[in-house]
Structure 1
Amino acid sequence: MTSLPVVNQPPHRCGALLDHLSRRMRLRSESVLAPLGLRPRHLIALTVLRDLGGSSQQDLAKILEMDGTNVVGLLNDLETENLIERRRSPVDRRRHVVELTDVGVKLLVRAEFALAAVEDEVLRGLSDEQRETLYELLHQATSKTEAEACTEAVTRPTC
């Protein structure tokens, strides 16, 4: 009887699983955001504006890692729905300051509530403790990238 050579198993790689999980999360998220009139990019912009308490259009473009022209289109969408307000900066009249409106805050809360239900559905195989561990690990994995992005945004000569 010939024995097969022992082949070492490669270490577990999670890229494919993360991609599958993110696709499931994205598809379900898009389906609950659509009835609210939002797309994921709208939600991200609203969240950033809430967390920052407002922002200049240029800073928002850097944070969102979007071209300025695309940010203007995104903000036009949000302004049309009265979710944001753009005003001239009192410090520099050449710049616009972007802030959430009360309507924007209320819609963001509704969207986050709907997305929490999506997260519960997609991650239903995990306990609360496992979800917290997953969150901490994902936060740790992305924190260096986020810190580097923030540093780049601050140190670029166009800032």
Structure 2
Amino acid sequence: MSAAPLDPSEHRSGALLDHLARRMRLRSESVLAPLGLRPRHLVALTVLRAGGGISQQALASTLEMDGTNIVGLLNDLEAERLIERRRSPEDRRRHVVELTDDGAKRLSEAECALAGAENEVLGALEPTERETLYELLRRATTGPISCGEAVREETPPDTSC
């Protein structure tokens, strides 16, 4: 059974969402760079702030990163004294990672810079429209995954609408 043909008058938001995401990503990267941060650094610092001390393995799992990549990420952050790694007193084979005071301060600076970047990118929207956009995006990202999204990436896209 094939789907009904796409009505050309219907609006599709995928391309617009992609464009907006690219604009936001580029602007975010430009305000994070002077702080010596990249988006992946920001995510790790945010997780560490929320979770307090966390094992390196648990952090890798939360960030969905493999062991090699998490070590590189943590090396970057540790070199800037934004995090501290130490052996777990309970299990000397494990490392516990914590946000330092400098890390918390840099994270706050980054969040302020990102708020400014978001204001620039979404400047055409009124505050109530931004809130509506946020709520709609939040709901869309927490909705159930459709059958099409669950199909493996190797499967050629279905070009019929």
Say yes or no: TM over 0.5: yes
Aligned equivalents of 2:35 and 2:112: distance in 1? 12
Residue 76 (structure 1) aligned with residue 104 (structure 2): no
Q: Which runs of 5+ in 1 are unaligned?
A: 1-6, 146-159
Tell me how large the CA RMSD over aligned residues is.
1.6
Aligned equivalents of 1:94 and 1:13: distance in 2? 51
Cα offset, 1:11, TM superposition: 3.3
Q: What is the count of residue pairs matched by the alignment?
A: 139
Q: Which runs of 5+ in 2 are unaligned?
A: 1-5, 145-161
Q: Which runs of 4+ in 1 moved over 6 A?
A: none
Task: State the partner residue of 2:10.
Answer: 11
Partner SS state of residue 28, structure 2? helix
Task: State the partner residue of 1:154.
Answer: none
Task: String of CA shifts for 1:90-118, please: whole Å, max 9, x gaps.
Answer: 22221111110000000000010000000
Structure with greater proportional helix content:
1
Task: State the partner residue of 1:134.
Answer: 133
Residue 93 (structure 1) aligned with residue 92 (structure 2): yes
* Equivalent residue letter for 1:130: E
Alignment of 1:21-32 (within 5 A): 21-32=20-31
Cα offset, 1:66, TM superposition: 1.1
Cα offset, 1:19, TM superposition: 0.8
Sequence identity of aligned pairs in percent? 73
